[in-house]
Structure 1
Amino acid sequence: MTLRTHLGETGTAASASSAAPTGIPKRSSHRHLGRTVVEGQDMRLVHLGHVFINFKNNTFQWVGIQRFRLPGPTVNDTSVLAMLISHELYGDDHAGGTPGDNPERHGPYWRDRITPGCFDLTDAGGEERLLRAWAEQHAPLPEHLHADLGRDLYQPLRAAKRVYRLRDLGPAAYHDWGGVQTEFHELALIDHTDETLTVVVAADD
């Protein structure tokens, strides 16, 4: 059974859990494009690379993976998610465009409808099972994709210290042509030890 804990707007979990995310900074902070300024310290995500896996099996399914370096090992999860949402590459409709070319939209949603509180803490095992079922629900995967998904998706998912899922925000958050994807899955994989953030989007268009 997949465990999901809602990350509240204040950065504290809505239900008790030993893996609950840490709170937001106690002192004031404000966000700029792709960074958060806390106590005069400029914290930003550094983009490390992008992997795009197109299934090419007539299902129109694909997986996009963005990797970032965290500004340090002690930045809390709420701040990491805030920096992700404000990063220029998050402006992506995931419907054939280029990351960063659609600043008002993210996937099916208006970007300004997405906050750190829209991400739920979940578990890697449950998410791997869900994504494996999604990947093969319509047609068998080409043989080479098993290795690609294992290396670029499932291995980082298992290694992540914390896994967050962007929950379904519903039609009320859809932008003017949102909902063209049959399914839209987004995970944020946070590893404070390696100081990395991996963002996974699995969808179709």
Structure 2
Amino acid sequence: MENQLTHEASTFINFRDYKFRDPKAHGYRWVDIKHLRLPAESVGGRELLAALIGHEQFRNDYAGGGVLTDGTRHGPYWLELVTPDAYEAVSRKECAHTLWGWANQFGDVPSKLNADLQQEVFDRLAAADHVHYLNGLGDGAVHDWGGVHEDFHEFVLVDRSAGRISLVVAADD
């Protein structure tokens, strides 16, 4: 099914691009969002997660390397250890709480960043039918330099009415 997920667009929100009261408050944080078109036929959530994990857009170490077609890392984890079972279903409310808490950990974000996060992340979250959270795979799954991220939050938003699955990664480096 990998070939049936089509990458439509990506958005990168770099906190350094916004004016914080404290210039160090951005904390080298960012949000990366990848949107993929769902296949025409209806498939279950587990199959969608497997297709996403198998898609080349998933091969990203989120540490400056970008998408690597032959990559072996996904964020702080070895790619081969990321499976659909590593994700847990969470509510939109739980997802929003985690992401807003992470975004505001050093104080309220600037209004422009708040608006961009609302449009690119939280409006899409509100429309999602299902939300899946990559809930930490344990120390044994962390690759050789995976500790570069202090915080790494990954959510998969499934919006069947829009025919889209969105991979949302909020992290720092």
TM-score (norm 1): 0.77
Q: Deviations over 1:145-172 (max 9, x none)?
A: 0110000001101110000001111111
How far is 1:101 from its partner? 5.4
Instruction: Decide which structure has the larger Cα Rg and report it.
Output: 1
What CA distance in whole angstroms lies between the structure 2 residues aligned with 1:156 and 1:102?
30
Alignment deviations for residues 73-106 of structure 1 (CA, whole Å, 9 cap, x no partner)? 5111111111110111111100112123561000
Match of 2:4 among 44, 49, 53: 44
Bigger RCO (CA 8 Å, 6+ sep): 2
Give the match's secondary structure for 2:106: coil
Alignment match of 1:128 (pick from 88, 96, 108) = 96
Which protein is richer in helix relative to its size? 2
Aligned residue number for residue 53 of structure 2? 85
Q: Which residue number corresponds to residue 119 of structure 1?
A: 87
1:53 is aligned to 2:13: yes
CA RMSD of aligned residues (A): 1.4
Deviations 1:82-135 (A, max 9, x none): 111011111110011212356100000000001111110000011101111110
On the 8 A contact 1:90/1:103 being kept in 2, the answer is no
Provide the rounded CA distance (Å) in 2 between the counterparts of 1:45 and 1:84: 7
Q: Which residue does 1:23 correspond to in 2?
A: none
- Cα distance in 1 between the residues matched to 2:139 and 2:68: 23
Structure 1, gaps ≥5 residues long: 1-30, 36-42
Structure 2: gaps of 5 or more residues: none
Deviating above 6 A after TM superposition, structure 1's stretches of 4 or more consecutive aligned residues are none
